[in-house]
């Protein structure tokens, strides 16, 4: 889209004050942001290094950066910040770590690292329901951090004894993170906000650095992110935020669509530009999306329109049960692919919860339809694999502090945060790694005798294992490593069921086999590698996997409605349009239907050409077959734009006909 429409043009050229761009789905907001960056640099002469554009995913940041690179001379964009909120926060912490009391080389705990630490703390607090409560505790602490609530404040404002208990865990959790010279994901925003509040000089420095700020997906900001933006722009009010309150679907992780309305209060001179022209979908799809979302209250009114054709009716397909539903989706994909000469990648199947994908996967496999699940957990992000990789990293480099800290107490060796903090301080004063510091005589004056003894026993074992790893056949040594630390027993103590523990241990043996294969592959050739290289290769693979993988192969896309935001597909199926699925049961109980309706809106607007909505008339729950109620959102769609299927007895007959037609097409396609 080279040519900007009038509203987009207005949004790009307005730089006289604060600006809110209300951008509907598919209205070309990325074009607006990238063109605006170009306008600020080329027309207004603001150096690239003084502009920051912030978004929520690495993918969006990469795309934005690439687009800017195509339209602005590279020399002018030097120093331009285009990143996620968390990356911006990380850079701030790196630069200001001394003000925050951190040492260089601090670790970042991801959700799994944080979970393991919390689990350990809760077991220590002798919380009986540690396993059941774990996710809830993690979410509560995360929401407190996002709302900028300290442990002391969380404790004093606790609604009940449970919250008090979580506030105590929160306090210890923060202490441990500090002892490990580590931060968690939420800290990446919270710590800069706290630093700027407490240190006006540092804030002034960053305000000089960032003279113009652009924020994408503003409706997804939480309290803490809003505060960070406000701190940085408060002086000049030179900013553009882009958002759509109708696509705010992350309240469960602290997002506040109210932040859009809040802007008006905090910046009274705020200008609002609405982008309502949609470049993605047919007119009919947009009419349906507008009609559904109109049932929500709005601070800002807008209505999407398109100059595309009217397009096909939206199909609502009733299926007998969940098996018939997945069968229908699978055969429809095959049918449409063969009849219309489409690719598998042209289709996306969206659903409310990940559990809905299991049955669908089985069905797609049965029909040999290739698919890709978005947002599934990668092998290297599993907790047990991260433990194993940290042990292996430590074996080839005992000075890897992050690996040392991850495994020094996994399985537990009764080494407390105080001991680690003492060791850490001593290591920093000597400017050596934690491992090296253990060998120093001076450590005895800094670390308690009991703690030092436990640490040295661990270090001695690491030394011995390292020695064997490089002098013997490495694979038996690695296997012995997991036996020595009694890792399997530890997994049984920390898993939900024996089955889960066995599965996790199998993952470890799969990793060991992978190392074996890497060593065997090059044997006797010029490509022969040692154990160090094999582990280094795996570490690199891990890092690569952590980047959002781009898979452009020809596969049907399966993803949750949440994960579909920002994406588009030619042909979309949304499954499970039933009460208690979409809208979700918990939202019905809490009276929070508005967010579920926004989720429906996001689902509808992912589509470029055809949309099919499916539901099951009955579904098995807890071994019992129960009748379902079709989703209220189906009734909110305009009658003239939808076509109902599967309501009569002819359903079976129609399916048989369709099956025969698909078979004939397939035979024709194969030239039989």
Integer angstrom CA distances of residue 117 from 106, 111, 138: 16, 10, 10
* 618-630: pLDDT as tens digits: 998 777 889 999 9
How many whole angstroms separate alpha carbon 210 and alpha carbon 52? 6
Q: Residue 63: its pLDDT value, please?
A: 86
Give the model's confidence band at 547: pLDDT under 50 very low, under 70 low, under 90 confident, else very high. Answer: very low
Token pair, residue 636, equals 């909110």
Axis crossing angle, helix 223-233 with helix 85-95, rounded to the nearest 10? 60
Q: 35 pLDDT exceeds 80?
A: yes
* 234-263: pLDDT as tens digits: 888 999 999 888 887 887 777 777 888 889
Q: Please state, as a whole number, how many other Cβ atoms lie within 10 Å of the Cβ of residue 584.
A: 18
Phi-psi region of 286 (alpha: psi -120 to 50; beta: other; left: phi over 0): alpha
Mean pLDDT of the chain: 86
How many whole angstroms separate alpha carbon 511 and alpha carbon 492? 19
Integer angstrom CA distances of residue 283 from 274, 278, 642: 18, 9, 13
How many whole angstroms separate alpha carbon 359 and alpha carbon 482? 36
* 332-360: pLDDT as tens digits: 999 999 999 999 999 999 999 888 888 89
**φ, ψ of residue 454 in degrees (nearest 5):** -65, -45
End-to-end CA distance of the chain: 44
Between β-strands 624-627 and 607-621, what pairing exists: parallel, antiparallel or unpaired?
A: antiparallel
Q: Residue 544: its pLDDT value, please?
A: 44
Spatial contact of 340 and 663, defined as CB atoms under 8 Å apart: no
Q: Residue 378: its pLDDT value, please?
A: 59
- Taking the CA atoms of 34, 35, 41 and 42 in sequence, report the sign of the dihedral they define: positive
Q: 225 pLDDT exceeds 80?
A: yes
Pick the closest to residue 384 from 498, 481, 478, 511 (CA basis).
511
Spatial contact of 654 and 328, defined as CB atoms under 8 Å apart: no
* Widest distance between CA atoms in the chain: 85
- Measured in whole angstroms, the distance separating CA 408 from the mean position of its chain's CA atoms is 28
Give the model's confidence band at 116: pLDDT under 50 very low, under 70 low, under 90 confident, else very high. Answer: confident
Q: What percent of the chain has pLDDT over 70?
A: 90
Decide: helix, strand or coil at residue 621.
Answer: strand
Spatial contact of 177 and 108, defined as CB atoms under 8 Å apart: no
Rounded to an integer, the average pLDDT of 17-42 is 92
Q: Please state, as a whole number, how many other Cβ atoms lie within 10 Å of the Cβ of residue 407.
A: 21
Spatial contact of 304 and 276, defined as CB atoms under 8 Å apart: yes
Give the up-direction half-sphere exposure of residue 652: CA atoms within 13 A in the CB hemisphere: 1
Spatial contact of 249 and 25, defined as CB atoms under 8 Å apart: no
R_g (Cα) of the chain, nearest Å: 28
Q: Residue 128: its pLDDT value, please?
A: 45
How many whole angstroms separate alpha carbon 18 and alpha carbon 264? 10
**φ, ψ of residue 295 in degrees (nearest 5):** -75, -10
3-state helix, strand, coil split of the chain in percent (to 5) is 60, 15, 30
Rounded to an integer, the average pLDDT of 471-493 is 93
Pick the closest to residue 293 from 561, 558, 25 (CA basis).
25
* Bridge partners, 557 (sequence order): 348, 372
Give the model's confidence band at 528: pLDDT under 50 very low, under 70 low, under 90 confident, else very high. Answer: low
* 287-315: pLDDT as tens digits: 999 999 999 988 788 888 888 889 899 99
Phi-psi region of 586 (alpha: psi -120 to 50; beta: other; left: phi over 0): alpha
Q: Residue 551: its pLDDT value, please?
A: 57
Would you name the residues annotated as active-site residues? 29-30, 216-217, 247, 606
How many whole angstroms separate alpha carbon 187 and alpha carbon 185? 5
Spatial contact of 648 and 353, defined as CB atoms under 8 Å apart: no
**Among 348-357, 372-381, 601-610, 656-665, the least confident range:** 656-665
Task: Work out the burial of residue 4: count CB atoms within 10 Å of its CB; fewer than 13 is exposed, 13-18 middle, 19 or more buried.
Answer: middle
Q: 404 pLDDT exceeds 50?
A: yes
Axis crossing angle, helix 449-471 with helix 417-430, rounded to the nearest 10? 70
Pick the closest to residue 146 from 186, 193, 173 (CA basis).
186
């Amino acid at each position: 889209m080279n040519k900007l429409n009038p509203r987009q043009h207005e949004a790009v050229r307005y730089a006289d004050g604060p600006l809110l761009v209300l951008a509907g789905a598919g209205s070309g907001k990325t074009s607006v942001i990238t063109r605006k960056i170009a306008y600020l640099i080329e027309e207004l002469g603001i150096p690239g290094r003084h502009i920051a554009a912030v978004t929520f995913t690495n993918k969006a940041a990469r795309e934005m950066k690439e687009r800017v690179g195509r339209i602005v001379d590279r020399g002018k964009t030097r120093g331009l910040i285009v990143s996620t909120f968390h990356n911006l926060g990380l850079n701030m912490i790196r630069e200001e770590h001394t003000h925050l009391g951190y040492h260089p080389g601090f670790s970042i705990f991801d959700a799994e690292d944080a979970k393991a630490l919390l689990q350990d703390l809760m077991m220590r607090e002798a919380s009986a329901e540690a396993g059941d409560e774990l996710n809830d505790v993690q979410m509560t602490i995360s929401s407190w951090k996002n709302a900028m609530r300290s442990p002391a404040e969380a404790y004093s404002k606790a609604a009940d004894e449970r919250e008090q208990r979580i506030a105590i865990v929160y306090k210890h959790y923060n202490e441990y993170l500090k002892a490990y010279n580590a931060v968690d994901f939420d800290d990446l925003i919270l710590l800069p906000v706290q630093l700027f509040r407490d240190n006006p000089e540092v804030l002034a420095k960053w305000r000089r650095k960032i003279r113009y700020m652009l924020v994408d997906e503003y409706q997804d900001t939480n309290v803490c992110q809003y505060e960070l933006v406000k701190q940085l722009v408060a002086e000049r009010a030179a900013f553009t935020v882009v958002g759509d309150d109708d696509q705010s679907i992350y309240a469960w992780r602290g997002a506040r669509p109210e932040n859009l309305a809040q802007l008006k209060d905090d910046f009274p001179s705020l200008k609002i530009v609405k982008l309502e022209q949609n470049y993605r979908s047919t007119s009919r799809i947009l009419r349906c999306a507008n009609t559904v979302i109109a049932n929500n209250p709005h601070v800002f009114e807008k209505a999407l329109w398109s100059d595309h054709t009217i397009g096909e009716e939206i199909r609502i397909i009733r299926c007998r049960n969940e098996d018939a539903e997945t069968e229908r989706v699978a055969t429809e994909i095959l049918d449409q692919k063969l009849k219309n000469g489409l690719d598998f990648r042209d289709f996306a199947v969206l659903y409310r919860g990940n559990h809905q994908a299991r049955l669908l996967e089985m069905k797609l496999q049965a029909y040999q339809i290739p698919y890709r699940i978005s947002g599934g957990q990668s092998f290297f992000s599993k907790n047990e694999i991260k433990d194993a990789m940290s042990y292996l990293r430590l074996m080839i480099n005992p000075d890897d502090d992050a690996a040392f800290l991850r495994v020094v107490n996994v399985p537990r060796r009764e080494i407390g945060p105080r001991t680690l903090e003492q060791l850490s301080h001593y290591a920093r004063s000597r400017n050596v790694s934690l491992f090296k510091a253990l060998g120093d005589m001076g450590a005895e004056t800094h670390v308690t005798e009991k703690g030092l003894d436990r640490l040295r026993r661990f270090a001695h074992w690491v030394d011995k294992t390292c020695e064997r790893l490089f002098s013997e056949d490495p694979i038996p040594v690695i296997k012995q490593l997991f036996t020595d630390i009694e890792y399997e027993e530890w997994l049984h103590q920390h898993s939900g069921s024996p089955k889960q523990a066995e599965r996790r241990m199998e993952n470890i043996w799969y990793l060991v086999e992978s190392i074996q294969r890497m060593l065997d592959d090059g044997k006797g050739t010029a490509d022969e590698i040692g154990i160090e290289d094999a582990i280094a290769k795996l570490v690199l693979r891990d890092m690569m996997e952590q980047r959002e993988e781009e898979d452009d192969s020809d596969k049907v896309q399966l993803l949750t409605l949440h994960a579909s935001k920002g994406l588009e597909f030619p042909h979309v199926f949304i499954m499970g349009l039933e009460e208690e699925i979409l809208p979700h049961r918990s939202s019905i109980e809490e009276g929070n239907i508005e967010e579920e309706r926004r989720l429906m809106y996001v689902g509808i607007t992912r589509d470029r050409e055809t949309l099919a909505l499916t539901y099951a008339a009955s579904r098995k729950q807890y071994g019992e077959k129960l009748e379902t109620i079709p989703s209220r959102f189906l009734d909110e769609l305009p009658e003239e734009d939808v076509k109902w299927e599967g309501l009569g007895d002819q359903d079976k007959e129609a399916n048989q006909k369709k099956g025969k037609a698909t078979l004939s097409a397939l035979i024709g396609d194969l030239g039989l």
